[in-house]
Amino acid sequence: MKLTSAQVERTLSQIEAEPISDTDPMVQQLNEMFGEHTFFLDSNGLNIVESTPAPQPGVQTARVINVANWADAKLTSLMPHEPEPTDAVIDLGFKH
């Protein structure tokens, strides 16, 4: 799921992570591996968000999905794996 800048801000207000800029050269490779997404790095590794059923009409929510774990203690390389849903659900606000 590709997020708008407002959705990225809302996401960052709810989880501790760093978004990877769309201009980062790594994004093209990540898109080839995982599809078009907004990517976030946190202490567990690389994450994306996927739309979830809305708790009420007009509200958009998304679950954080971990797609790669850190391969080393220095957090310098990632090891991709099958997508693993986390417990984090993000309130992205109202659909327009």
Q: Tell me 8's DSSP state.
A: H
Residue whose structure tokens are 């990225």: 8
pLDDT in tens, 46-78: 999 999 987 788 889 999 999 999 999 999 999
Mean of the per-residue pLDDT values of the chain:
94
Phi, psi angle pair for 49, to nearest 5°: -125, 145
Residue whose structure tokens are 């109202």: 94
User: Closest Cα partner for 64 from 10, 21, 6?
Assistant: 10
Residue whose structure tokens are 């309130």: 91
Distances, alpha carbon 52 to alpha carbons 74, 85, 88, 95, in Å: 33, 11, 11, 13
What's the whole-model pTM score? Answer: 0.91
